[in-house]
């Protein structure tokens, strides 16, 4: 018996692409309504990151960008975990508007990079922003491992992806049949995005949510994500997830640090790390654990539509 990629064998949904299957030597099985999965629950990862996914009016994004910069320099929630107060292992952003796409990554801390201030000036009347500030847990501290990552999917679209949390890297490598030594200095988050670029074959709300759900089986701490799928016909789909291991919900310091917040108005939708609530006047709402968002974006007409889902197989 084989358990398909990402340690999950889903009813009537085999991972046939590239015939990627995982041999039957799991670390630990856990069962749910629709799939069998593996999870290593004996470890809690170290550092994590701060993220912001924003869709809509660029001027309205500015307070949140500023909040992420401040949160990266002084994060009380991170300090409460005994992991220091800063996110200083690189940063990056992807900015999409009707005029183009800009992707920037740096190994500098976001709060020491003048390009962070320049980003504030570049925010368009309408667009999509992925913003990530890293506190490394796996992989070297370098420009490559700064996020968001970019992937040219074999299914004919561009994927930009960022992740906040700690995944079981060995399971991702085994599922993707990649050599451990070659990816020793590459982050777990990069592999998660690679998986999505290979297995989201015909991007739809259902498929995006299902593929993200399958990543839950590799979670050591959290699967807080943001991504953008950009098609050749200029169709744009943004997505994000808020998920931490349920046992961590009972640990105050871990929960405070890993939970996500959202802001939703007529001209802006934003999903962001918890610490931003300490540095913005905008009224934020805590996102329920296990929730996913898919946002259809029309850059030309400056419109977006947000749909929310449970992070589970249906």
pLDDT of residue 139: 73
Q: How far apart are CA 40 and CA 23, in angstroms?
A: 17
Cα atoms in the 13 Å half-sphere on the side-chain side of 67:
24
Residue with tokens 């992925």: 130
Tracing tokens 């470890």 back to the chain, one arrives at: 43
Give residue 8's pLDDT.
39
Phi, psi of 225 (to 5 degrees): -135, 160
Q: What range does the domain containing 68 cover?
A: 3-310
- State the CB neighbour count (10 A cutoff) for residue 79: 14
Local confidence pLDDT in tens for the 314 residues of the chain = 333 444 333 333 323 333 344 333 322 323 333 333 444 445 555 668 999 999 999 999 999 999 999 999 999 999 999 989 999 999 999 999 999 999 999 999 999 999 999 999 999 999 999 999 998 777 788 999 999 999 999 999 999 999 999 999 999 999 999 999 999 999 999 999 999 999 999 999 999 999 999 999 999 999 999 999 999 999 999 999 999 999 999 999 999 999 999 999 999 999 999 999 999 999 999 999 999 999 999 999 999 999 999 999 88
Nearest-CA neighbor of 53 among 203, 219, 308, 273?
273
**Cβ atoms 292, 309 nearer than 8 A:** yes
Q: Give pLDDT, residue 92.
A: 98
CATH code at position 296: 3.60.20.10
The predicted pLDDT at position 140 comes to 87
What is d(CA 133, CA 224) in angstroms, rounded to the nearest whole number? Answer: 13
pTM of the model: 0.88
| Separation CA 207–CA 199 (nearest Å) | 9
Provide the domain count of the chain: 1
Q: Whose CA is closest to 19, among 5, 7, 1?
A: 5
pLDDT the model gives residue 44: 55
DSSP one-letter code for 76: H
Element (H, E) at 71: helix 58-73
Residue 46 has a pLDDT of 60
């Amino acid at each position: 018996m084989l358990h398909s990629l990402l340690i999950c064998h889903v009813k009537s949904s085999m991972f046939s692409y590239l015939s990627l299957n995982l041999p039957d030597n799991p670390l630990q099985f856990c069962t749910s309504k629709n799939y069998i999965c593996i999870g290593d629950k004996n470890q809690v990862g170290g550092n994590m990151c701060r993220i912001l996914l924003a869709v809509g009016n660029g001027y309205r994004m500015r307070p949140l960008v500023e909040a992420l910069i401040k949160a990266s320099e002084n994060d009380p929630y991170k300090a409460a975990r005994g992991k220091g107060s800063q996110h200083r292992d690189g940063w990056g952003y992807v900015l999409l508007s009707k005029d183009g796409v800009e992707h920037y990554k740096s190994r500098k801390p976001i709060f020491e990079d003048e390009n962070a201030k320049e980003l504030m000036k570049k925010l368009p009347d309408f667009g999509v922003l992925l913003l990530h500030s890293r506190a490394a847990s796996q992989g070297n501290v370098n420009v490559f491992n700064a996020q968001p990552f970019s992937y040219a999917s074999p299914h004919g679209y561009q994927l930009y992806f960022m992740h906040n949390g700690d995944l079981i890297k060995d399971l991702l490598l085994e599922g993707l049949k990649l050599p451990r030594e070659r990816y020793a200095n590459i982050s777990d988050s990069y592999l998660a995005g690679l998986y999505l670029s290979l297995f989201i074959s015909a991007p739809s709300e259902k498929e995006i949510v299902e593929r993200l759900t399958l990543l839950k089986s590799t979670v050591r701490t959290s699967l807080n994500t943001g991504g953008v799928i950009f098609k050749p016909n200029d169709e744009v789909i943004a997505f994000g997830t808020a998920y931490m291991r349920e046992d961590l919900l009972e640990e105050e310091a871990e929960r405070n640090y890993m939970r996500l917040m959202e802001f939703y108005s007529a001209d802006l939708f934003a999903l962001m790390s918890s610490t931003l609530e300490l540095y913005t006047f905008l009224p934020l709402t805590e996102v329920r654990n296990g929730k996913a968002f898919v946002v259809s974006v029309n850059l030309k007409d400056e419109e977006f539509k947000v749909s929310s889902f449970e992070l589970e197989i249906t």
